[in-house]
Amino acid sequence: MKIIVGGKGRMGQLIAKTAEEHGHTVVGLFDAFSLDELKAAEKADMIIDFSHRDNLGWICDYVNENNAALVYGTTGLSPEQKEKLFALAESHPVFYSANFSYGVAVLQELLRKAVPMLKDTFDMELTETHHNQKADAPSGTAKAILEILNPDGEFEEVYGRSGMCGARKKEIGVHALRGGTEAGEHTVHFFGNNESITITHHADNRQIFVNGAIRAAEYLAEKEAGLYNMQDLLKSE
């Protein structure tokens, strides 16, 4: 494939390097400050973006103008931006996920099976940890996990606790830790009477997300217009 990578930072460079190692051609790395370079670049049939939500506008324009496919992993989108992305999937192949780790996808499948069995008798808590440069909190992955824990909104979602908060109600606590160079960790705690269950995914570095993005791009290459995610990728393997 001929691939455009959104963003020139560390993640973009790692995506480009890995894509080339897989035999693909990277047309270039672009962001909002390099769109003149984009106009002069060779046409691509795939965009992979993990950069910043402010790049979504030109990315959608490029996909529409060049009939390209899109692998999108940027988090922190506004409701309006999500609507724009979902609308794009009506006419083009779009693979969208808050986390491209294969292990996180498996963790989410485990939670889909565990939550119905535990939610009525166990208390649930969610913690996530990321590096000190991450812009959004909770992480996009944590929000996706929270949707699995609380699909019908029956629990109050409490973001951190302080003061005299009293006894626990029907709630799920959500906690974001930030520091150092931590690539990412997500943990779901189930606390019962005299027993507990903890499910954790820990990322050692960004390469696992890049590997997942390349895997998604190769999966998406032959797909028709539509919105795809890591669940679709799991089912295909």
Separation CA 66–CA 44 (nearest Å):
8
Q: Hunting for tokens 């390097």 — which residue is that?
A: 17
Asked if 134 is an active-site residue, the reply is yes
Quick one: which H or E segment has residue 84? helix 79-88
52, 84, 134, 175: the catalytic one is 134
In Å, what is the CA distance from 13 to each residue of 6, 16, 172? 10, 5, 37
Closest CA to 41 of 20, 26, 56, 57: 26
Q: How, if at all, do strands 93-96 and 226-228 pair?
A: parallel
From CA 23, how far away is CA 190, in angstroms rounded? 43
The 3-state secondary structure of 36-57 reads HHHHHCCCCCEEEECCCHHHHH
Catalytic residue among 24, 92, 119, 130: 130
Known catalytic residues? 130, 134
